[in-house]
């Protein structure tokens, strides 16, 4: 039952880990796609913003040019009045009125467009900053995923719980068997050395050398002398 419980626990853990891994990977994929879409939209927004800014600058230029025209016609109207030509001065005044109305209209358009350009510029800048943060988040997620994979590899290759106990018991049995083999080899070597020693003593005796220790006869002969 213990092994079965270990297997079921491991299975549930693996299912949970796999599920989390899939979710994390999907989050990375979604964020990557979001960044790609954001970059595309940002590029298009910058092109549009540049075009709008160009139009705003054109309108500003028209306002300046209209103002110069108004100044020019005003000087001419004054000159016509100086020359007592009121009819020409009136026509010039009408032109000045037309130019003034047109300048006011263009100025309103230019101010409105400039305001829109400024608002869009801040939005584009904010979007660009957010994309930079998203890129940092993406790199962190990828780093976390890489670390998680390494950790899972280490965990899967490292026995835990009852598995570790079984491994330790197996190591102990292997060490004991190795010690038994070494003891038997030592005993065999001792027996072999003993046999070689007995063979040497037999050869010495056969050669008339035998024991070379001190005998009682030798001691007695020594005392008489």
Distances in Å between the alpha carbon of 208 and those of 2, 52, 163, 205, 217?
74, 127, 68, 5, 18
Residue 12, pLDDT > 80, answer no
Most confident range (mean pLDDT) of 29-33, 113-117, 209-213 is: 113-117
153 vs 207, higher pLDDT: 153
- Residue 110: other Cβ atoms inside 10 A: 19
Report, as an integer, the average pLDDT of 131-141: 85
The pLDDT score that the predictor gives to residue 158 is: 59
The rounded distance, in Å, linking the Cα atoms of 33 and 12 is 32
Report, as an integer, the average pLDDT of 150-160: 65
Instruction: Tell me the per-residue pLDDT of 53-86, one tens digit each, with 9 for 90 and over.
Output: 999 999 999 999 999 999 999 999 999 999 999 9
Residue 6, pLDDT > 70, answer no
Closest CA to 135 of 57, 36, 222: 36
Computed over every residue of the chain, the mean pLDDT equals 77
**Domain residue spans of the chain:** 2-158, 159-212
205 vs 150, higher pLDDT: 150
Report, as an integer, the average pLDDT of 177-181: 78
Place of tokens 């600058």: 57
Q: What percent of the chain has pLDDT over 90?
A: 32
Report, as an integer, the average pLDDT of 156-176: 68
- Could you give the residue ranges of the DSSP H alpha helices within the chain? 2-82, 86-157, 162-206, 216-224
Dihedral angle over CA of 78, 80, 84, 88, nearest 10: -130
The pLDDT score that the predictor gives to residue 90 is: 93
Residue 201, pLDDT > 50, answer yes
CATH architecture of 2-158: Orthogonal Bundle (1.10)
Report, as an integer, the average pLDDT of 42-62: 92
């Amino acid at each position: 039952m213990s092994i079965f419980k270990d297997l079921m626990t491991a299975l549930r853990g693996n299912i949970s880990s796999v599920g989390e891994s899939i979710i994390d990977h999907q989050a990375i994929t979604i964020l990557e796609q979001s960044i790609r879409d954001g970059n595309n939209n940002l590029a298009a927004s910058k092109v549009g913003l540049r075009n709008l800014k160009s139009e705003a600058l054109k309108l500003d230029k028209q306002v300046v040019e209209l103002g110069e025209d108004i100044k020019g016609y005003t000087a001419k109207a004054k000159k016509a009045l100086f020359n007592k030509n009121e009819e020409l001065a009136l026509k010039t005044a009408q032109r000045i009125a037309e130019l003034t109305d047109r300048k006011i209209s263009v100025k309103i358009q230019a101010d409105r467009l400039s305001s829109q350009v400024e608002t869009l510029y801040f939005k584009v800048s904010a979007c660009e900053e957010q994309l930079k943060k998203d890129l940092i988040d993406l790199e962190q997620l990828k780093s976390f995923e890489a670390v998680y994979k390494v950790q899972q590899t280490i965990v899967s290759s490292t026995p835990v719980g009852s598995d570790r106990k079984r491994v330790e018991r197996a190591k102990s049995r292997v060490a004991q068997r190795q010690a038994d083999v070494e003891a038997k080899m030592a005993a065999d070597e001792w027996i072999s050395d003993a046999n070689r020693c007995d063979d040497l003593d037999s050869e010495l005796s056969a050669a008339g050398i035998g024991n070379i220790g001190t005998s009682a006869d030798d001691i007695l002969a020594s005392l008489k002398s």
